[in-house]
Amino acid sequence: MGKNLSIVTISLLFLLASTSAVQVFDVKSYGGQPNADITQALTKAWTAACAVAGSKVVISAGTYKLGGVSFLGPCKGAIEFNLQGTLEAPSDDASFKGKDFWVSFERIDSLTVSGSGIFDGKGQTAWQKNNCDKESDCKNLPINIRFDFITNSIVRDIQSKDSKFFHINLLGCKSLQIQHVTITAPGNSPNTDGIHIGRSSGITITDANIGTGDDCISIGDGSQDVTINQVTCGPGHGISVGSLGKYPNEQPVSGIRVIGGTLSGTTNGVRIKTWPSSPPGTASDMHFENVIMNNVANPILIDQGYCPNGQCSNKAPSKVKISNVSFKNIRGTSSTKEAVQLICSKSVPCQQVVVADVDLAFKGAGGSATSTCVNVMPTLSGKQNPPACTIKT
């Protein structure tokens, strides 16, 4: 009887193994060919793959044209989007008919986006139309890749190039890992943030190589439990929490860790930025450690008067409360004399700020590096180069 049971059990295991095998849906099977538009073929392949449990959509080597497309869930089971070739977006942003994305993944659990392929946003023409430096309510151009309400998922090895706007945008995601992605755009390309995180939790970014015309990584309101490991950043505007406080009803930010990594030639290093005249908000439990700065302007910066291009009509203090922040073992070179700036709000001064083992050299004219504190009294330990803050009120 025991022997028969074991045979039944083994047979059942074989059956489960065969039924759980990943089914491959190659875009070429749906009419997708290199050097042609594969929007319809890829949409069909995704729809078919999403309807089965355990599937993989494959785009093999080659260059393909792709219009704006949404990959919607929920799917029957785990699904992988594997890109080996290059996808090219339409150059003209008018063809997106007002949509704020080129490729969107939405409401999917257990998604894998993989492969060494390239999402080429063809952003050069669109950048010339970007007027966000002059208009605070400017029109959003298409984001290369949106991840909306994605859970228990992984994005690895892909490349994003020359997005018209943000490269990768996360909204409402939970338990998402981003590993070894490469993001590139010229240093003068406007609003080409590498990875923007909003209202998401349990996000890990590891071993990313990002060079853009804006923040390499930006962390928006409602972001919680975000870990950024060993990111290489430059050109760009650095790694930023914020900007926060521009809109009413923003959600708290907490549990941010930036560990390791190298920033080179960026206009900021590690930064927390909030708008003046803001509604109340909170940003807490944010820690930056073991980061190397190579010729970085503003290597360590809290800026609670963030107001680019004079867009603020009223300079009342920010009401975003910043607390429990640390900058530890930040070293390298600053391209500006004022290497450490902790400019906090008069309305809600920063609390529990730690600055430890900082070694930032300035090699320009005018003497060695300096640091400034406004509305904050940091706790200091270890090496302090530049010398500890001069308190200003």
Which among 196, 213, 230 is the end of a domain? 213
pLDDT at 130: 85
Q: Are residues 85 and 154 in the same domain?
A: yes
Query: What pLDDT score was predicted for residue 17?
Result: 43
Overall domain count for the chain: 2
Average pLDDT over every residue of 128-149 = 85
Residue 94 lies in a domain: yes
Same domain membership, residue 232 and residue 102? no
Q: What residues contact residue 56 under an 8 Å CB cut-off, 6+ apart?
A: 22, 23, 24, 25, 49, 79, 80, 82
Looking at the fold, whether 141 and 122 belong to one and the same domain comes out as yes
Phi and psi at residue 8, in whole multiples of 5°?
Answer: -60, -45
Do 295 and 174 sit in the same domain of this protein? no
Among 145, 180, 213, identify where a domain stops: 213
Q: Which residue's structure tokens are 């730690």?
A: 354
Asked if 234 and 154 sit in the same domain, the reply is no
> What is the percent of the chain where pLDDT is above 90?
85
Residues with catalytic annotation?
214, 237
Is 126 inside any structural domain? yes
- Which one of 183, 213, 243 terminates a domain? 213
Residues 357-380 have a mean pLDDT of 94
The confidence band for 390, taking pLDDT boundaries of 50, 70 and 90, is low
What is the pTM (predicted TM-score) of this model? 0.93
Q: Label the pairing between strands 118-120 and 101-109.
A: unpaired
Question: Is the pLDDT at 362 greater than 60, yes or no?
Answer: yes
Amino acid, res. 269? G
Answer yes or no: is 104 within a domain. yes
- 195 & 131 share domain: yes
E-strand stretches of 125-269: 143-156, 159-161, 168-171, 174-179, 182-184, 195-198, 201-206, 209-211, 217-219, 224-229, 232-233, 239-244, 253-259, 262-264
Average the pLDDT over 113-129 and give the result. Answer: 96
Taking only the tens place, the pLDDT of each residue in 290-311 is 999 999 999 999 999 999 877 7
Least Cα distance to 65 among 86, 43, 94 occurs for 86
Let me know whether 388 and 301 are in one domain.
Answer: yes
β-strand pairing of 379-385 with 351-362 = parallel
Same domain, 195 and 298: no
Question: Do 220 and 366 fall into the same domain?
Answer: yes
pLDDT at 203 exceeding the cut of 50: yes
Quickly state the pLDDT bin for 392 (edges 50, 70, 90): low
In a domain, 121, yes or no: yes
* pLDDT greater than 50 at residue 3: no
226 is in which domain, residue-wise? 215-393
pLDDT of 393 above 60: no
Which residues, at least 6 apart from 314, have a Cβ–Cβ distance to it below 8 Å?
276, 277
pLDDT at 350 over 90: yes
Over range 150-166, report the average pLDDT: 98
Instruction: Note whether residue 16 is domain-resident.
Output: no
One domain for residues 43 and 152:
yes
- pLDDT digit string, tens, across residues 79-99: 999 999 999 999 998 899 889
Rounded to an integer, what is the distance from CA 283 to the centroid of its chain?
18
384 belongs to a structural domain:
yes
Same domain, 84 and 25: yes
Query: Are the beta carbons of 226 and 248 closer than 8 angstroms?
Result: no
1: pLDDT strictly greater than 50: no
Q: DSSP letter for 37, please.
A: B
Looking at the structure, do residues 224 and 330 belong to the same domain, yes or no? yes
CATH number for position 120: 2.160.20.10
In-domain check, residue 9: no
Residue 324 lies in a domain: yes
Look over the chain and give the mean of its residue pLDDT values, rounded to a whole number.
93
